[in-house]
Amino acid sequence: MQDADGKVLRFGMVGGGVGSFIGHVHRKGAEFDDQAKLVAGCFSSNFERTLNTGAQLGLDRSRLYRDHLEMAEKEAAREDGIDYVIICTPNYAHYAAAKAFLQQGINVVCDKPLTVTVEEAEELARLADEKGLLFGVTYAYSQCPAVKHAQQMVRNGDLGDIQVVVAEYPMGSLAAPVELEGKMPWRMDPQYTGISNCVGDIGTHVEHTVSYITGLEISELCARLDNFGGKNRALDTNAHILLKYKFGAVGNYWCSQVAIGYDNPLRVRVFGSKAAIEWCQEIPNYLIVRKLGEPPQLLARGHSYLYPEAGQMTRLAAGHSEGYYEMFANFYAKFNSALLKRKQGLPLTEEDLDFPDVKAGLRGVKFVSRCVESSKQGSVWLKFD
């Protein structure tokens, strides 16, 4: 089953060159548990840069490609071709790359937002389904043991009926017009980013983390997007979103990139009829639980009092911090294990497929589209589906 290196799956990357923000996080995550190995790539639209990245990562020159089309075709034709591709280019390029690999019968992991239009995301979901291929989307925050425990609490009825959700993702990264200094170059450009910057970039994380924990489905939303932080910015940097979910619960989300002094504290609070939970990405190893009539509890990752599903997602003893890399590793552990099982011809269970997938990616793109549309129309309530 294992190759000469003792690794099992082979993957390639489109985007994620040396110096990119998220590329190395994917590489570390995918290889964390020694189930997969990077063997190919088109790491940049500039071939020289792809060659440099490939050399730094010790890849064979023959498996470095000028573009995603050449890579998809040539890797599909090889006997030792990649089992899956990881796509972590700027948003606009996700769709074409994902489509090319699916068409060649290669499984896909793509970063969020999945695509820049709903139609593109729908097409990818359809193609993956038709071809019977695995398609993961790296909403990594949901892959944290404390978040898994929160999800299990909801599923087991520990919170009672969910009534209210409050979630926020404040960052200060675009509080000043840094794009004028050549920083974060593509993020404020609709050609590369799509119709939304703030909701697309971090609002999608809020949407997915809430959905993952609660299982709630949005029925309607009302959004106000603003382009604060610089003159003539074409895209949003702040969003307030009100939500109604199916079966009566309500919520509000705030995401901002002009929240001076904030780094990455994605925070989700869920209030049920019996108890409430609170989780924050900057202190990911802990979950606050508030039960009616009782003092608050602070649950810590790594203890046997957590649900076993959360225990399975942890590697270190309690008290040694796990964080961002481990969240990606948890995503890839599930994706790699599912793919290995499929390669052995075994059927996949719901548990095997418990990673954010193309349907979650499509829902995120829909969320972005509805928020932008609601805001454009003067912050009106819009049906989600």
Q: Can you give the binding site for ligand NAD, defined by CB under 6 A?
A: 14-17, 20-23, 42-45, 49, 88-91, 93, 111-112, 138, 140, 201
CA 71 to chain centroid: 24
Which residues 6+ apart lie within 8 Å of 263 measured at CB? Answer: 171, 172, 282
Q: Quick one: 251 or 356, whose CB is closer to ligand NAD?
A: 356
Which parts of 159-312 fold into alpha helices (H)?
A: 190-193, 198, 204-214, 308-311
Q: Quick one: 20 or 256, whose CB is closer to ligand NAD?
A: 20
Two tokens, residue 295: 């003092």
Q: Quick one: 20 or 375, whose CB is closer to ligand NAD?
A: 20
Shortest distance in whole angstroms from residue 132 CB to ligand NAD: 25
Name the 3-class secondary structure at 111. Answer: coil
Shortest distance in whole angstroms from residue 25 CB to ligand NAD: 7
Q: Quick one: 25 or 159, whose CB is closer to ligand NAD?
A: 25
Amino acid (1-letter code) at residue 46: N
Shortest distance in whole angstroms from residue 366 CB to ligand NAD: 17
Two tokens, residue 310: 């959360």
Across the chain, where does the E strand assignment appear? Answer: 9-15, 36-42, 84-88, 107-110, 135-137, 162-170, 218-226, 238-245, 250-256, 267-272, 275-280, 286-291, 297-300, 382-383
Shortest distance in whole angstroms from residue 90 CB to ligand NAD: 5
Shortest distance in whole angstroms from residue 268 CB to ligand NAD: 15
Q: Quick one: 159 or 174, whose CB is closer to ligand NAD?
A: 174
Shortest distance in whole angstroms from residue 87 CB to ligand NAD: 8
Q: Quick one: 170 or 272, whose CB is closer to ligand NAD?
A: 170
Shortest distance in whole angstroms from residue 165 CB to ligand NAD: 21
Which residues 6+ apart lie within 8 Å of 224 measured at CB? Answer: 239, 240, 241, 375, 379
Task: Please choose, from the candidates 192, 208, 73, the residue with its C-alpha nearest in 3D space to the C-alpha of residue 138.
Answer: 208
Q: What is the length of the chain? A: 385
